Chain A
């Protein structure tokens, strides 16, 4: 029952508080309303648990919304926004977060190479972002360097695309 010495937390191929960042994208009422693939209350609970975990480990967060400034969308769900008071939302009009200049600048500014991506929906906002992040070399340093986080723990949820 002897733990091995703590590995280099930046070089570790697994996620550590020092090598990862969370991208939280479009957890907004209209996006949630469109979810049919899993229980919506459970989805929100899982997102809340994810953000609480990330905050416990002081992992940097890039918090983004879509269409709030245009008036077409509402801000981040209050259950999550209350946990993200230190992370001002970066509002976008692009469905692909990676085509928003401030978003990409914020990701680069974290200095992290492993991205935990939570986004609604999986096949749009997560997929586009993850595909571009992978193309830019995120998560390429090791086979497991980029991760996308399903907002659910069960295999019956929506398929991941990135």
Chain B
């Protein structure tokens, strides 16, 4: 990080690539990967 890299979490990576929930092509897959299969399941 001190050399200029930036940390990114797996959730922020998914959201950064999706960027806009109006982009329909990938939104269902992202919701499944991030929410259905992980965050909602692991509460």
Number of interchain pairs (Cβ within 8 Å): 93
Q: Which residues of B contact A131 (CB under 8 A)?
A: 3
B5 touches A53 (CB 8 A): no
A149 touches B33 (CB 8 A): no
Chain A residues touching B, range = 35 or more
- The secondary structure that dominates the A interface is loop
Q: Does A15 contact B (CB under 8 A)?
A: yes
Interface residues of B in 1-43 (CB under 8 A from A): 1-14, 16-17, 19-20, 22, 26, 29-30, 33-34, 37-38
Q: Which residue of A lies closest to B17 (CB)?
A: A57
Q: Which residues of A contact B5 (CB under 8 A)?
A: 117, 130, 134, 139, 146-148, 160-162
A149 touches B8 (CB 8 A): yes
Q: Which residue of B lies closest to A149 (CB)?
A: B8
Q: A3-B20, A16-B17, A162-B1 are in contact. Are A56 and B6 (CB under 8 A)?
A: no
Nearest 10 Cβ contacts at the A-B interface: A162-B5, A153-B9, A56-B29, A53-B14, A148-B5, A50-B10, A160-B7, A57-B17, A46-B10, A15-B16
